[in-house]
Amino acid sequence: MRHLIKYTIVLFLIAAFFNSCKNEAKKIHPNQFALSGEIKGLKGDLFFRHPDKEYTRETLPDTIKVINGKFHFSDTISKLTLITSFPNYKGSDNKLFKIPADSLGYFPVKCTGLMFYAFPGADIKISGEATDFMNAYPSGDSFNDALTAVNKLTFPNYNEMGNIAVANTHEKDSLVINKNEEEAERIFKQNTDELVTHIKNNPKSLGATWYLNDLLRRRHIDETEAEALFNGLSTDLSEYEDYKNIATRIAGIKNTKDGFPVPSIKTTATLDGSEFNINSLRGKYVLIDFWGVWCGPCVKEMPELKVFQEKYKDKLVVLGINSGDTKEKVQKFIDKHNYNWQQILSQRKNTSDNFVSRFNISGFPTKFIIDPRGNIVKRFVGDGVEAFELLEKLLDK
């Protein structure tokens, strides 16, 4: 009898142990989100870059496995973030979409990717189809429902513009090309007008806020209109990144006008981690150069920038602000070419060090000439010829 009791107790403890393990396995991480659904006509997997991970341009993205157009995916995420996942399409030989017989290929516009908001606890449902664009949208919560509303408005327009761009790469008749470009311009204007109306009518939509940030960043609307639209947004959105980015850019518009003091640049986002303060350069002219290793025009004119730096070293200081490259990549590039002026890195996730937003940079390269008192002389976007010409006049006095 005593042995039977012991045996029963052992069985009970074993059962309790396995039940505990089973319950533990059922626990869901508090930061987990789930994504599931079906995109008819999509073949192959979807790829995305997780916002909580560090990537280089060479790093392979994360994968959402797709089988017969269906997928079930889960991961963890620290905060609400807009994610865009893409199929591995390769132009006209792409087999991941249901390609029309007369398709000429693909143009990488927004409508070729699946966009959704992920956040801790989200259960995102996807439905739609892949025709000649990603005509599929998320639902399941207010963030994704609002994103779907604006994407259903814009995606068909982006698709039409993309199809026209692809057609023009194959077209030989200049009259047809011009006609196509006029049609693309009409669609672009229509799309912009519809977006502006949508933003006005949906002041609490985070999806609409993302598009306003995109319109401002790409200079698709003028700065006055952008500020008016921003002022119409609900301050309930003020905790989110896109709202903050617009606010920073709007401030940058005001703070980087000719004659204004250059915005503060005090940071340890340098190549060696030491602190840099732009105030230490007072007394000399400063040429601020926003650039990237990935930017062909930026790289092309840097030898001339080096000539200026060496010719006027007693009067001029060059400050490079890199965007989009890793510290290691920047260091390797400047070492190779002996570009020995100060470099700092614009940080997308750090508002105070997001110099691209703080200076309202919308194109690369962009240059600022700063006078010896620390005031902005002029901003130059694109080719640096005019900047170099003005510098010569200022420095040869």
* Structure confidence by residue, pLDDT tens digits, 127-144: 999 988 899 999 999 999
Instruction: Indicate whether 90 pLDDT > 90.
Output: no
What is the model's pLDDT at position 308? 86
pLDDT, tens digit, for every residue of 323-343?
Answer: 988 899 999 999 999 999 999
Residue bearing the bigger pLDDT, 291 or 28: 291
Residue bearing the bigger pLDDT, 186 or 98: 186
Instruction: Indicate whether 351 pLDDT > 70.
Output: yes
Q: Tokens standing for 112?
A: 């070729």
Instruction: Indicate whether 14 pLDDT > 80.
Output: no
- Provide the pLDDT confidence category of residue 61 given band limits of 50, 70 and 90: confident
Q: Which domains does the chain have, with CATH numbers?
A: 171-255 (no CATH), 266-395 (3.40.30.10)
Q: How far is CA 338 from CA 268, 291, 334, 343, in A?
A: 22, 16, 6, 13
Q: Are 253 and 227 in contact (CB under 8 A)?
A: yes
- Provide the pLDDT confidence category of residue 352 given band limits of 50, 70 and 90: confident
Instruction: Indicate whether 29 pLDDT > 60.
Output: yes
What is the model's pLDDT at position 25? 46
Instruction: Indicate whether 106 pLDDT > 50.
Output: no
- The residue written with tokens 């602000």 in the block is 321
Contacts of 278 (CB under 8 A, 6+ apart): 262, 264, 265, 266, 286, 319, 370, 374
Q: Tokens standing for 123?
A: 């259960």
Q: Residue 294: phi, psi to the nearest 5?
A: -75, -15
- Amino acid identity of residue 25, one-letter, is A
Displacement of CA 190 from its chain's centroid (Å):
24
What is the model's pLDDT at position 384? 79
Q: Long-range contacts of range 374-381, CB-CB < 8 Å, 24 or more positions apart?
A: 374/261, 374/262, 374/278, 374/279, 374/282, 375/259, 375/260, 375/261, 375/262, 376/256, 376/257, 376/258, 376/259, 376/260, 376/261, 376/262, 377/258, 378/258, 379/256, 379/258
Residue bearing the bigger pLDDT, 15 or 248: 248
Q: Are 376 and 369 in contact (CB under 8 A)?
A: yes
Instruction: Indicate whether 13 pLDDT > 80.
Output: no
Displacement of CA 391 from its chain's centroid (Å):
32
What is the model's pLDDT at position 132? 84
pLDDT, tens digit, for every residue of 211-251?
Answer: 999 999 888 999 899 999 999 999 999 999 899 999 999 99
Q: Of 107-111, 168-172, 197-201, which has the strongest mean pLDDT?
A: 197-201
Q: Residue 50: phi, psi to the nearest 5?
A: -70, 130
pLDDT, tens digit, for every residue of 191-202?
Answer: 999 999 999 999
Calpha distance 180→175 (Å, rounded)? 9
What is the model's pLDDT at position 87? 87
pLDDT, tens digit, for every residue of 297-314?
Answer: 999 999 999 998 899 989
Mean pLDDT of the chain, nearest integer = 87
